[in-house]
Amino acid sequence: MQQTGLNIIAIAIFTMTISSLLSPIFNISPFIPAGATFGILGLVTIDTISLNNRGVTLLLDLFANAEQRQRVIHHEAGHFLTAYFLGIPITGYTLTAWEAIKQGHYGRGGVIFDTQELTEKPFKLQDMRLTLDRLSTVWMAGIAAEKLVYDKAEGGQEDLQQLRIALDLAGLPPESYGQKKRWAQLQATNLLNRHEESYQALVVAMENRKSVAECCNVIRENC
């Protein structure tokens, strides 16, 4: 179960406890807060098991404030820009949970890559390492972008999970994960700093929901 679902369950249990303590004071039947709590727990469980937390994610996205929405845009623009310069094909992007759900994806937003070109032919060991380096940098670019703009990152849990899975599949020892993560984030940060004007223009283009081709043109025009 994702951390968001666990947080909601914890809040529901806390609310039921407080309601049970206060219900005698306000003459509220204890069955009301208990029923509401169990209803919330049931919905969260169904959402987690059957819908991969899409319902919870959509609910949180509906109540996101302006800064949170801007964070998502800056985060995804970091992925987009880095993928563009590292030659990772981009097929689309989403910036809200609803947009992601409509396109059959998870989360509150994301840049969609076409990695088939990278894996359709046999690679030499050196080619595989270079591809892993490129993908690792792209995955860490969202966190790097948030830190550059906001000094700290609030998103990126799924990116870190993807990185860990890739390093696992590559056979790297777990003790090397931290070093690889820091290296990839540094590479992404350097790239974003070198192309700051392109990045800022891309943020505006993505905020206006420009197409992938238009976003790529914006990057080129501001290099």
Query: Within a 10 A sphere around the Cβ of 155, how many other Cβ atoms?
Result: 19
- What is the per-residue pLDDT across 86-104, written as a single tens digit (0 to 9) for each? 999 999 998 887 666 666 6
Q: What string of DSSP letters covers 128-159?
A: HHHHHHHHHHHHHHHHHHHHHHHSS-S--HHH
pLDDT for the residue numbered 31: 53
φ, ψ for residue 212, nearest 5 deg: -60, -45
Amino acid at 42: G
Between the CA of residue 78 and those of 36, 94, 103, 146, 165, what are the distances in Å?
Answer: 41, 13, 21, 8, 21
pTM passes above 0.85: no
- What is the per-residue pLDDT across 159-209, written as a single tens digit (0 to 9) for each? 998 899 988 888 888 888 999 999 999 999 999 999 999 999 999 999 999
Query: Helix, strand or coil for residue 8?
Result: helix
